[in-house]
């Protein structure tokens, strides 16, 4: 993929994300009791991931390693054998002390 195609893909993804982001508050305002059960699908959408990655890669914190010890440059370079092994075995990407609790979503009263 050349640079122009990548820039166009990021631009198109950004438009899609902005369109959805402007609709969510409208839906919430129109129906206060509506449950957004499919938010995970939105977060895992390739357009959202592309826009998020573009923002993370472009900010000055991209040079600093995250909780997994990886920088943006090392992720772009590829996961290497350890990443492939984690995908096959299902081993979590975060070390044991840094994993979120199993139930992270607050319960409704």
Where do we find the tokens 């040079």?
63
Distance, in Å, from the CA atom of 40 to the CA atom of 61, rounded to the nearest integer, reads: 25
- What pLDDT band is residue 85 in, cutting at 50, 70 and 90? very low
Lowest mean pLDDT among 6-10, 15-19, 51-55, 64-68: 64-68
- Region 1-6 average pLDDT: 73
In this predicted structure, what is the pLDDT of residue 102?
Answer: 56
In this predicted structure, what is the pLDDT of residue 80?
Answer: 45
DSSP state of 44: T
Interval 70-84: pLDDT, tens: 888 877 777 544 554
Greater confidence (13 vs 61) lies with 13
Distance, in Å, from the CA atom of 81 to the CA atom of 44, rounded to the nearest integer, reads: 24
């Amino acid at each position: 993929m050349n640079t122009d195609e990548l820039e166009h893909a990021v631009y198109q993804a950004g438009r899609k994300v902005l369109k959805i982001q402007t609709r969510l508050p409208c839906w919430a305002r129109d129906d206060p009791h509506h449950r957004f059960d499919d938010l995970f699908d939105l977060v895992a959408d390739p357009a959202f991931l592309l826009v998020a990655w573009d923002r993370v890669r472009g900010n000055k914190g991209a040079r600093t390693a995250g909780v997994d010890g990886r920088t943006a440059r090392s992720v772009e370079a590829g996961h290497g054998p350890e990443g492939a092994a984690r995908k096959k075995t299902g081993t979590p990407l975060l070390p044991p002390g840094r994993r979120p609790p199993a139930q992270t979503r607050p319960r409704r009263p």
